[in-house]
Amino acid sequence: MFVLNCKGRPLVVDKPLVMGVINITPDSFYPGSRRSGVDNVLRMAEQMLNEGADIIDIGGQSTRPGSELLSADEELNRILSSLEAIHKNFPDSFISIDTFHSKVAGIAVEAGACIVNDISGGNMDENMTSVVAALKVPFVLMHMQGVPQTMQINPHYENVVQEIFDFFRQKITSIHHTGVKDVIIDPGFGFGKTIRHNFELLQHLQVFQKLNCPVMAGLSRKSFVYKTLRMGSEQALTGTIVMNTIALMNGADILRVHDVKEAVQTVRLFQSYIQK
């Protein structure tokens, strides 16, 4: 069990949690996750919370392969009013801000977010981890080889599981030294990995439990799922459910998903299966 300090509020991870994704961008890889306008975002957040989401993850920056990066101000312009509306209407909800800009992280946490989710693990903004430490919120440390523009151009590892494990071990130590207390690790499925790399990481996901941090799996409708099934992201829900089930069986603590209802049901069945 883990207890994460979210601006003074405990987020207890004593069973697998579900993080629902809302992309306030026209450029996200999965069209079904895209929302624009405060009312539309608010309706989606309400639906996710009603379906059992433990965390709502808000992002204004598309990070699909080859995506164009936004400035911090452009990102804030996209997400801030919607984030404020969610916090106002659902003050007890746990909101994660998906950003690699420390400026966005700081302003978003002031507006109601209580988790910072950084695809770059602090590598794209040198101030990120010190800002997160000052904010006193958990930090989602994700692994990515390269940057979104280049990450899927021939990604290479000698041993993908070992190299990412070593990355986390070193990075967790340096992050703790900056004052960040709570770290969630995310192997970064689809971020600088081939299809084979993703399956190897999923197969050995339990290895990352040795780092004594909650493990998050972001498998939802990823390209390695729908390409394996020879279909598009819109048809990849069944594949996502299968991948999430395997992730839970291999030790995932948090599922980051586009389809909350199905993920919550998957967790419920998994919990019933493992009960002794």
Report, as residue numbers or ranges, the catalytic residues. Answer: 222, 256
Strands 9-13 and 2-6: antiparallel
3-state helix, strand, coil in the chain (%, to 5): 45, 15, 40
Residues 136, 38, 222: CA angle, nearest 5 degrees: 70
Length of the chain: 276
Q: Are 157 and 28 in contact (CB under 8 A)?
A: no
Distance of alpha carbon 5 from alpha carbon 270, whole angstroms = 26
- For residue 44, with 0-12 CB atoms within 10 Å meaning exposed, 13-18 middle and 19 or more buried, which class applies? buried
- For residue 124, with 0-12 CB atoms within 10 Å meaning exposed, 13-18 middle and 19 or more buried, which class applies? middle
